[in-house]
Homo-oligomer: A and B are copies of this chain.
Amino acid sequence: MKVCEVMTAPPVCVAPRVPLVEVTRRMAECAVGSVLVVENGALRGIVTDRDLALRGMGGGMAPEAPVDAVMSAEVVTVDADDDLQVAYRAFRRTEVRRLPVLDGGRVVGVLTIDDLFLDVFRRLGDLLGPVAWSVLQEPPGPTSACGGPRVL
């Protein structure tokens, strides 16, 4: 199984000089936790919501500061054609939770650790067979609220 079969594509990208506040808007709109920083089709870095908070606001930067001031320029990447195994290994050896996916040097997607948790779940379901479905206690779709956990 290849990275390109599981990745999310296309990725959400911004240019290096885009202001931090604009990046927060893209993250909210696209419901993502990280954005790739790309220039002329080449990956320059990655920035997470945590980077914006801790390095941006925490570092005393103005909301108009450019995103390349807080991005991580050292990025662990995988190739679209790589076996998924390469991505598992990357998550084991690093602290990152998202891997930009390249194809011939061009950014084509993102693979998150959550994508691979789903891969693990699917594999486990394969091994357990049809009975696996019977233990999933709530159907897909909006979940019922009754009898749930306490809300403050």
Contacts and interface: CB of A to CB of B under 8 A. Distances in A.
A10 interface: no
Nearest to A22: B58
Interface in A59-95: 60, 63, 73-79, 83-95
Interface string A75-119: 111110001111111111111000100000000000001101111
Interface size class of A (residues with CB under 8 A): 35 or more
A57 B21 contact: yes
Q: Interface majority SS on A: helix, strand, loop or mixed?
A: helix
Contacts of A143: 92-93, 130
A27 B52 CA distance: 13
Nearest to A72: B152
A112 to B, nearest CB: 11
A130 B141 contact: yes
A50 to B, nearest CB: 4
A52 B57 contact: yes
B117 A125 contact: no
Given A53-B27, A54-B28, A148 B117 contact: no
- 7 closest cross-chain pairs (CB), A and B: A24-B58, A90-B149, A52-B53, A92-B126, A75-B152, A133-B140, A88-B126
